[in-house]
């Protein structure tokens, strides 16, 4: 099996459940508060690990005690954490409000993620050299993410970019380095500079990224699944129906799952179908990493036609 390298953030998520998300200036009643392991990069690495991948994770965590929640989960998911950076800072923290429909609002304070520097990545060049598939997200300094994309491409690795959170600008020369880019609709709109309100517009915006040199675009569409747009074709992959509890980390689970199936030598179409099942299960549960299913759970779910 091919080896996966994940480069990205680690956060501790402070999750408040509420009936309705507050409007600006409004105070609402909260139902509960929890502290969970999260962060886009960490969620993706844990997803790839729980789903059976061989995963090295490059990330920066703090030393305020909160990092232990993350390290415990990394251990359970079987990640190689030998190269994780320990910064003398506060661990990244995300404040997440989740409403009764499972929708969320997130404010992420980077903390130690700001120390996921180019120098740190340079000093772990061997982790890049020894991997086959590299998954990168943007909740770390942008110059570090850009460095990881360039180094991975120079080493002829398969590069998957999850452009989340949506960047304000993106270096044009990086597009040809990317094998798969996995924006949601908002991120696709921002990166393409186009407004998107239909499937036709999704395809047009994705084709704009293909025109810049990306080899494949996979647009994640929440409950509608994902759209694969390649130079040859475009195809919508619909997920099974499920009662939504919490959508946090659904996209991260999707990205980790795609990497695992590609690492096993499966086609991108098979990888998207697998990832749809994994992220569908994740939205039926609370939390970020706590909601991510194991490989056994996804395989059983698939064998029952996407039903529990």
Site for ligand RIB in 6-25 (CB under 6 A): 11, 13
Q: Which is nearer to ligand RIB, 110 or 239 (CB)?
A: 110
Close Cβ partners of 27 (under 8 Å, ≥ 6 residues apart): none
**Stretch in the footprint of ligand RIB (CB under 6 A) among 35-43, 83-91, 192-200, 255-263:** 35-43
Binding mask 119-158 for ligand RIB (x = CB under 6 A): --------------------x-------------------
Q: What is the DSSP string of 234-269?
A: EEEEPPPP---S--TTHHHHHHHHHHHHHHTT--HH
Among 73, 79, 94, 181, binds ligand RIB (CB under 6 A): 94
Please report how close the Cβ of residue 46 comes to ligand RIB at its closest, in angstroms. 10
User: Would residue 168 show up in a list of annotated catalytic residues for this protein?
Assistant: no
Q: Residue 9 or residue 124: which is nearer to ligand RIB going by CB? A: 9
**Shortest distance (Å) from residue 172 CB to ligand RIB:** 26
CA distances from residue 102 to 119, 246, 282 in whole angstroms, order as listed = 38, 4, 11
Contact between 106 and ligand RIB per CB under 6 A: yes
Smaller CB distance to ligand RIB: residue 108 or 160?
A: 108
Distance CA 172, CA 212 (A): 7
CB of 186 to ligand RIB, least distance (A): 13
- Closer CB to ligand RIB, 7 or 177, in the complex: 7
- Closest approach of Cβ 41 to ligand RIB, in Å? 9
Q: How far is the CB of 39 from ligand RIB (least distance, A)?
A: 4
272 lies in the site for ligand RIB, by CB under 6 A: no
Report the residue number, 94 or 258, with the smaller CB distance to ligand RIB.
Answer: 94
Of the residues 64, 132, 252, 299, which is catalytic?
252
Q: Give me the torsion for CA of 304, 100, 275, 141, rounded to 10°.
A: -160
Position of minimal CB gap to ligand RIB: 38
**Applying CB under 6 A, does 225 fall inside the site for ligand RIB?**
no
Residue 58 or 288: the one with the smaller Cβ distance to ligand RIB is 288
CB of 108 to ligand RIB, least distance (A): 4
Q: How do 216-220 and 226-229 pair as beta strands?
A: antiparallel
Token pair belonging to 90 = 């506060």
Contact 280, 307 (CB under 8 A): no
Contacts 24+ apart (CB under 8 A), 145-151: 145/7, 146/171, 146/174, 147/118, 147/121, 147/122, 148/7, 148/58, 148/121, 149/174, 149/177, 149/178, 150/174, 150/177, 151/121, 151/125
3-state SS, residue 165: coil
Of 274, 222, 211, nearest in space to 248 by CA: 222
Smallest CA-to-CA distance from 190 within 216, 213, 167, 214 is with 167
Six token digits for residue 279: 């992220």
Q: How far apart are CA 277 and CA 286, in angstroms?
A: 16
Binding mask 229-248 for ligand RIB (x = CB under 6 A): -------------------x
Interface residues with ligand RIB (CB under 6 A) are 11, 13, 38-40, 43, 94, 106, 108, 139, 248-249, 252, 288
Q: Which residues are catalytic?
A: 252
């Amino acid at each position: 099996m091919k080896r996966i390298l994940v480069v990205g953030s680690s956060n501790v998520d402070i999750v408040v459940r509420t009936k309705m998300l507050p409007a600006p200036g409004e105070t609402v009643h909260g139902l509960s508060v929890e502290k969970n392991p999260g962060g886009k990069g960490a969620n993706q690495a844990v997803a790839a690990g729980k789903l059976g991948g061989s995963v090295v994770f490059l990330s920066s965590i703090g030393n305020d005690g909160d990092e232990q929640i993350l390290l415990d989960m990394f251990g359970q998911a079987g990640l190689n954490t030998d190269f994780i950076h320990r910064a003398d800072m506060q661990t990244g923290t995300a404040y997440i409000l989740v409403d009764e429909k499972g929708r969320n609002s997130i404010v992420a304070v980077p903390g130690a993620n700001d120390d996921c520097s180019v120098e740190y990545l340079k000093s772990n060049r061997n982790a890049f050299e020894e991997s086959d598939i590299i998954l990168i997200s943007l909740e770390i300094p942008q110059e570090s993410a850009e460095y990881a994309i360039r180094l991975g491409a120079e080493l002829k690795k398969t590069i998957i970019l999850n452009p989340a959170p949506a960047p304000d600008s993106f270096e044009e020369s990086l597009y040809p380095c990317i094998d798969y880019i996995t924006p949601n609709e908002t991120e696709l709109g921002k990166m393409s500079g186009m407004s998107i309100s239909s499937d036709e517009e999704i395809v047009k915006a994705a084709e704009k990224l293909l025109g810049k040199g990306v080899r494949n675009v996979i647009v994640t569409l929440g409950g509608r699944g994902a759209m694969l747009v390649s130079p040859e074709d475009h195809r919508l992959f619909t997920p099974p129906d499920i009662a939504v509890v919490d959508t946090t980390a659904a996209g991260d689970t999707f990205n980790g799952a795609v990497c695992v199936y590609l690492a096993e030598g499966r086609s991108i179409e098979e990888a998207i179908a697998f990832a749809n099942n994994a992220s569908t299960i994740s939205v039926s549960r609370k939390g970020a990493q706590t909601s991510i299913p194991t490989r056994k759970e996804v395989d059983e779910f698939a064998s029952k036609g996407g039903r529990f």
